[in-house]
Amino acid sequence: MIEKLAVIGVGLIGGSMARALRQEGLVREVVGCGRGRENLERALALGVIDHYTHEVGAAVEGADFVLVAVPLGAMRRTFADMRGHLSAGVVVTDVGSAKASVVRDAREGFGALPPFFVPGHPIAGTERAGVEASFPELFRHRRVILTPLAGTAPAALERVEWAWRHCGAEVTRMSVEHHDEVLAATSHLPHMLAFGLVDALARMKENEEIFRYAAGGFRDFTRIASSNPVMWRDICLANCEALSAMLGRFSEEMADLARTIRNADGEHLLEIFERAKAARDRFIDGVDAERG
């Protein structure tokens, strides 16, 4: 049981986790924290939180579980504002989409990495933002990656795992560096492709006509370009190294594809497409099998 859950950043992710824990009957009290009044009033009306404050220090006072779900750019300030207000026995976790930057921010914000801090990242989301977009099933059958550090207390790690499992997630652990490399490839790079493609097309002279004839495939592929721009700016800045390396490798692949098309090398094209189709089919079959 969580006696007092403090959610710093009651948006899509923070709101969804609070809702999931609440639905499971695992929290007695939820306090929300954010800058704006409107989103927090909405969170109150939706029953996601019981009360709110705009002060991080006041929110975490007396809390036994603190969930930090603000954009990456706001992490350091948030950790710093907690100093001197946390109770003994508290567990603090975050949901930031890049982990090395959060660990750096925690070290700087707290002054040193505390044993009660468990960095985490749910691999779940939508392109919508704010508490209005949150829902308790968001993490069901989805993975949550925890990246515990050398000094992380085992009890804190177990408590965070316990909470995520009750949200319906499958919890895995990996190192901070590995997480950032894997996510650069599987999430951050695809978002760059979607943002880059839509922006490039939108800036073409004939853009109205292009978008008028855009069909299902374009819609599917570019859905993630509707994601929160502030969040994605922060992710690029936070995971700059791994993402730059991945973009470099991908640009070479694209150059190879362009060359193959220019050379009208149908055989090589078929080879690329068949390899990609087989890989995706295998991946989709694997996901379906996991979900039963």
**DSSP code for 134:** -
The residue whose two tokens read 């859950």 is 5
How many angstroms separate the CA atoms of 27 and 164, rounded?
13
Nearer to ligand NAP, 7 or 27 (CB): 7
Nearer to ligand NAP, 78 or 152 (CB): 78
Helix (H, G, I), strand (E, B) or coil at 46: coil
Nearer to ligand NAP, 18 or 70 (CB): 70
Least Å from the CB of residue 192 to ligand NAP? 15
Q: Which of 119, 3, 20 is nearest to 69 (CA)?
A: 119
Radius of gyration in angstroms for the set of CA atoms belonging to the chain, rounded to a whole number: 21
Least Å from the CB of residue 207 to ligand NAP? 27
**Which residues 6+ apart lie within 8 Å of 244 measured at CB?**
none
Nearer to ligand NAP, 86 or 95 (CB): 95
Buried b (16+ CB within 10 A) or exposed e, 145-174: bbbbbeebeeebbebbbebbebbbbebeeb
Would you list the DSSP string of 170-238?
A: EEEE--HHHHHHHHIIIIIHHHHHHHHHHHHHHTSTTHHHHHHT--HHHHHHHGGGGS-HHHHHHHHHH
Nearer to ligand NAP, 34 or 109 (CB): 34
Least Å from the CB of residue 181 to ligand NAP? 17
Binding site for ligand NAP (CB under 6 A): 9-14, 34-36, 39, 69-72, 74, 95-97, 121-122, 125, 129-130, 228, 231, 235
Nearer to ligand NAP, 57 or 260 (CB): 57
CA 65 → CA 6, 93, 182, 284, distances in Å? Answer: 6, 8, 28, 36
Nearer to ligand NAP, 114 or 120 (CB): 120
User: How long is the chain?
Assistant: 292
